[in-house]
Chains A and B, each alone.
Chain A
Amino acid sequence: MNDMLQVARREIKTGFRNPWSYTFLILFCVFSLCLLVINSQSIVQGYSGVTGSMLSLILYLLPLMTLFLGSFSLTAEKEEGSWQLLSTYPIGTLSFIVGKYIGLSIVLLTIVAFGYGLMGVISGLVGMSFASSTYVLFIAFSCGLVLLFLTLALLIGSLSKNRWQALTVSVSIWFFAVIGWQTILISVLNFLPYTWIKPTLVALTFINPAELVRLFVVIKLGGGSILGPEYYQWVEWIQRSSGSWLFIAVCLLWISFSIMVVYWLWERGRSHG
């Protein structure tokens, strides 16, 4: 436990001394302020064109940021040899991985908090009509995205030999999950019998964190009816408060499963030297 906290602390320290973090911090702030300017005339409440475009833009930026910072942090451990050094100490691999995860998520969530904080303060001062429930939901949406994509980032970092490899894989994963997902799914699912399409689609949605989080927020914003009668029961269920708990449970399952896989990868690497 103590080891884990030490690793997390070290991660936060290096995270906030990493110029990359500040690059993303500035990018995210500029970006959220631009959104604010674009929507300064409109009401930000419920599911509308305004919140829809905000969702899309966040969906582009945050996963990319998370994948880069996360995977680079792990490959740096390998490239700079600090993991080789750490493995000689009596420190558990799990403590190391979980510590890394906690440290990185604190760094990333701080960036998100800074961006949203600035956005909230400015919109409050300007007197924009920004419904607080929508604001909170967007923060939750962003945190969810960050936490889920961070596990993917750790996976990429574990499997890559160096930063360049991590960069390439990160970009392809990002493109696959955020942009190419629908295209790939539509083309592949058309080979399946018609009745299989919906269940397969639902199952696959749980695999893609971008889709999972996006749909949850769309439904919570009150836009669930647009998904049509096919998903009526899902929508009704998620709209209730039990839906939020289910979502949190799915996220925790996701995170713990990926961390176990990452742990297994590092443990194997450690024993094989």
Chain B
Amino acid sequence: MKKAEQTLIYRLLFIALLLICHQVLNMEEALASTSIGQVNSLQAIIDQLDAGDAIELPPGTYAGPATIDKMVSIRGNSEVTLLNPSGAPAISILSDGVHLANIQIKNNASGDQSPAILVKSHQVTLEDLTIQTSGYGIILRDADQAILQNNTITWFKPEANKPKQKGNGIDLYNSNGTLIKNNHITGVRDAIYLEKSRNARIQGNKLSRTRYGIHCMYIDGSSVIDNEGQYNITGAMVMGVKNVVVSGNVFRRQSQNVHSQGILLYDVQSSSINKNVVEGNRVGIYMEQSSENELSNNAVLRNFIGIQLINSNSNQFHGNEFIANVIEAEAADSQKNEMMRNYWDSFQGLDLNHDGTSEIPYAINPFYQLLVTQTPAYQLFFQSPGMTFLSDMFTNGQEDWSTDSSPLMNADISHTVSTESAKGSADVLAIGLLLLCTAIYTIIYLGVMRE
């Protein structure tokens, strides 16, 4: 009895071993048979896999397009490259729970809008992918709970095309609960585009030289946290949302385009925008038709216009710092906004009771804003001495202006120290010295000395 049992176990073990061997042989066969010269067909490898399999691709070059229709995990290493010259997506994921990692994808079908990766299933994980695309990067359609992290997405031909002809880096539609984390995206149309996708979390991404760094429409309950953007047309464009958190983001140098902004909020309700840094943009924070939001502890530095409010009512602003902006704030048709304890560097307050806030309120003069809304041609007068003079004379209806009732007297130093550093102090010294010497020489030689 005992012996029979032992024999059975041995036999089972033997069969298992055989099966494994068979599988391995099969796979090697598949790998061997599909290699056409240097390029292997990825589809052939996937076809050999069973649901639940995990595979690491040997280094080499593979060819797309491929469709994954079973739950598998495919991992490459830094030497795995997938080429896709066809018009179809390089990889289409149709099964739930697929895991793709560490593959370089070159999606270079010219003049085509197809994505490098198309996901149409739930719980998909895409990580450490390096995607070069001449269409879209990653597209998610009706795909919930995906995780996209540590991916790099770049445009195939840098600066070759206009934004309209490019595709988006990461593009979501009707895909809820997605985590988009630590991705680097540059050169595409919109780096991260979300539409009708609730409860997304967009965190720690680096976005540059795109149209919109983050473009959100109808994404209630999502959060945009700790992202960094520069040289985009607009850093974060948030539109048509409720209960969103935009926090800890840094947007710099978005000033090239006539429509550039750091953070653009349009039709945003009941959301929290806090601890963001917007520096050197055309407009730091632009807000239109938005209400019931809380903007707090944002650092608004060196923008042409710090904050611009249009038709935005009943928002709360506190603890924000406005430093070295050409114009700190513009507000038109915006009422019932509660502003308290913000720091405005050009405002000279008066603190009688030493509580750190000024007893004189800071009111935002709407004159210029109203003028250019009526006649955009007058934007030529932006912050000219004459315009400042004229604005100061305009005090009509002052009680309706957006007003900070208790502006802070001093800024939080940690925010004012910019992370940027201007180079060229030595150059300035040299030029200065040259000028000074020339001037003194001219005065003495041509003016003072007698012939």
User: Which among A17, A124, A178, A227 is the interface contact of B432 at CB below 8 angstroms?
Assistant: A124
Known: A49-B302, A52-B383. A120 touches B376 (CB 8 A): no
Known: A60-B385, A226-B305. A13 touches B428 (CB 8 A): no
**Which residues on the A side are within 8 Å of B160 (C-beta)?**
none
**By the criterion CB–CB under 8 Å, are B255 and A228 in contact?**
no
Main secondary structure of the interface of A (DSSP, over half): helix
**By the criterion CB–CB under 8 Å, are B258 and A183 in contact?**
no
| Bound CA–CA A58/B258 (angstroms) | 27
**Which residues on the A side are within 8 Å of B381 (C-beta)?**
182, 186
Known: A113-B438, A118-B436, A186-B378. A123 touches B425 (CB 8 A): yes
**By the criterion CB–CB under 8 Å, are B304 and A201 in contact?**
no
User: Which among A127, A178, A227, A235 is the interface contact of B385 at CB below 8 angstroms?
Assistant: A178
**By the criterion CB–CB under 8 Å, are A132 and B302 in contact?**
no
Stretch at the interface among B72-80, B169-177, B323-331: B323-331
- A188 is an interface residue with CB less than 8 A from chain B: no
Q: Which residue of B lies closest to A119 (CB)?
A: B432
Q: Which residue of B lies closest to A181 (CB)?
A: B386
**By the criterion CB–CB under 8 Å, are A231 and B380 in contact?**
yes
**Which residues on the B side are within 8 Å of A131 (C-beta)?**
422-424
**By the criterion CB–CB under 8 Å, are A194 and B375 in contact?**
yes
**Which residues on the B side are within 8 Å of A83 (C-beta)?**
none
**By the criterion CB–CB under 8 Å, are B429 and A125 in contact?**
yes
**By the criterion CB–CB under 8 Å, are B324 and A50 in contact?**
yes
Q: Which of B302, B376, B385 has the most CB of A within 10 A?
A: B385
CB distance from B60 to the nearest CB of A (A): 47
Q: Which chain B residues in 355-402 approach chain A with CB under 8 Å?
A: 371-372, 375-390
CB distance from B288 to the nearest CB of A (A): 16
User: Which among A56, A120, A201 is the interface contact of B377 at CB below 8 angstroms?
Assistant: A201
Q: Which of A17, A120, A215 has the most CB of B within 10 A?
A: A120
**Which residues on the B side are within 8 Å of A134 (C-beta)?**
422
- A162 is an interface residue with CB less than 8 A from chain B: no
**Which residues on the B side are within 8 Å of A129 (C-beta)?**
421-423, 425
**Which residues on the A side are within 8 Å of B420 (C-beta)?**
43, 45
| Bound CA–CA A17/B443 (angstroms) | 9
User: Which among A59, A214, A231 is the interface contact of B379 at CB below 8 angstroms?
Assistant: A231
Q: Which residue of A lies closest to B448 (CB)?
A: A16
**Which residues on the B side are within 8 Å of A132 (C-beta)?**
423-424, 427-428, 431
- A77 is an interface residue with CB less than 8 A from chain B: no
- A222 is an interface residue with CB less than 8 A from chain B: yes
| Bound CA–CA A121/B439 (angstroms) | 13
**By the criterion CB–CB under 8 Å, are A222 and B255 in contact?**
yes
CB distance from A148 to the nearest CB of B (A): 16
**By the criterion CB–CB under 8 Å, are A186 and B418 in contact?**
no
**By the criterion CB–CB under 8 Å, are B326 and A15 in contact?**
no
User: Which among B386, B426, B431, B439 is the interface contact of A182 at CB below 8 angstroms?
Assistant: B386
**Which residues on the A side are within 8 Å of B423 (C-beta)?**
129, 131-132
**By the criterion CB–CB under 8 Å, are B375 and A197 in contact?**
yes
**By the criterion CB–CB under 8 Å, are B324 and A227 in contact?**
no
- A145 is an interface residue with CB less than 8 A from chain B: no
**By the criterion CB–CB under 8 Å, are B326 and A49 in contact?**
yes
Known: A42-B324, A117-B435. A130 touches B379 (CB 8 A): no
- B260 is an interface residue with CB less than 8 A from chain A: yes
**Which residues on the A side are within 8 Å of B324 (C-beta)?**
42, 48-50
- B410 is an interface residue with CB less than 8 A from chain A: no
- A165 is an interface residue with CB less than 8 A from chain B: no
CB distance from B324 to the nearest CB of A (A): 4
**By the criterion CB–CB under 8 Å, are B390 and A43 in contact?**
no
- B257 is an interface residue with CB less than 8 A from chain A: yes
**By the criterion CB–CB under 8 Å, are B435 and A116 in contact?**
yes
- A106 is an interface residue with CB less than 8 A from chain B: yes
Q: Which of A43, A123, A178, A201 has the most CB of B within 10 A?
A: A43
- A150 is an interface residue with CB less than 8 A from chain B: no
- B18 is an interface residue with CB less than 8 A from chain A: no
Q: Which of A48, A122, A222 has the most CB of B within 10 A?
A: A48
Q: Which chain B residues in 396-451 approach chain A with CB under 8 Å?
A: 416, 418, 420-440, 442-443, 446-448
What are 23 contact pairs spanning A and B, CB under 8 A? A12-B446, A13-B447, A42-B324, A43-B420, A49-B323, A110-B438, A117-B435, A119-B432, A124-B433, A125-B429, A130-B424, A131-B424, A132-B428, A181-B384, A182-B386, A182-B390, A186-B371, A186-B381, A215-B380, A223-B255, A228-B258, A229-B376, A235-B258
Given A50-B302, A120-B431, A225-B255, 11 further pairs, Cβ under 8 A: A16-B443, A16-B447, A46-B302, A56-B385, A117-B433, A117-B436, A118-B436, A179-B385, A201-B377, A222-B256, A228-B372
The 3 closest A-B pairs by CB, nearest first: A120-B432, A16-B447, A124-B429
